[in-house]
């Protein structure tokens, strides 16, 4: 499988002994061949346990590596964003310095002269000072206008 380390070790069987003739004699209780076979089985079991532990460690290391790669990609993205923000900040700083230099070196604005007094402005002021009097209409009505009949 891709991404998985497959075990390349094969189970090894104990070396086979040549067949011994069947005899009526009982086998000796502690022969050196039996002790050697027991030692080999013990060594095989120990090696299998060690292999199992190593497989677990490999899986843990794979998980840690994947976590670190994710962290690296996240930090790389943040670094790129930081670089962009720093470039924008430098640009804004340059614009601010240009504007401040332009403000300090610009001549003061010229004073606007007051409007010259002319005949037209004098007449307009006169009209505003003397409004036209408007007589309000009469609000009282006479009896003839109401139409009373006795």
R_g over Cα of the chain: 55
pLDDT, one tens digit per residue, over 54-92 is 999 999 999 999 999 999 999 999 999 999 999 999 999
Q: Is the pLDDT of residue 7 over 60?
A: no
Please tell me the predicted confidence (pLDDT) of residue 138.
63
Q: Helix and strand tally (H, E) in the chain?
A: 3, 0
What whole-number distance in Å separates Cα of residue 131 and Cα of residue 150? 46
pLDDT, one tens digit per residue, over 86-142 is 999 999 999 988 888 777 775 666 776 666 656 666 666 666 555 566 666 666 666
Contact 66, 13 (CB under 8 A): no
What whole-number distance in Å separates Cα of residue 135 and Cα of residue 119? 30
- Indicate whether this model's pTM tops 0.85: no
Question: Phi first, then psi: what are they for 22, rounded to 5°?
Answer: -80, 125
């Amino acid at each position: 499988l891709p991404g998985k380390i497959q075990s390349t070790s094969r189970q090894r069987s104990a070396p086979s002994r040549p067949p011994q003739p069947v005899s009526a004699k009982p086998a000796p209780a502690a022969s050196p061949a039996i002790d050697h076979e027991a030692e080999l089985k013990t060594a095989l079991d120990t090696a299998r346990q060690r292999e199992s532990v190593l497989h677990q460690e490999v899986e843990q290391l794979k998980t840690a590596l994947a976590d670190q790669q994710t962290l690296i990609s996240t930090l790389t993205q943040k670094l790129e964003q930081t670089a962009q923000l720093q470039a924008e900040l430098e640009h804004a700083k340059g614009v601010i310095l240009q504007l401040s230099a332009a403000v300090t070196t610009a001549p003061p604005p010229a004073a606007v002269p007051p409007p010259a007094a002319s005949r037209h402005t004098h007449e307009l002021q006169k009209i505003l000072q003397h409004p036209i009097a408007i007589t309000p209409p009469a609000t009282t009505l006479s009896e003839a206008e109401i139409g009373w009949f006795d």
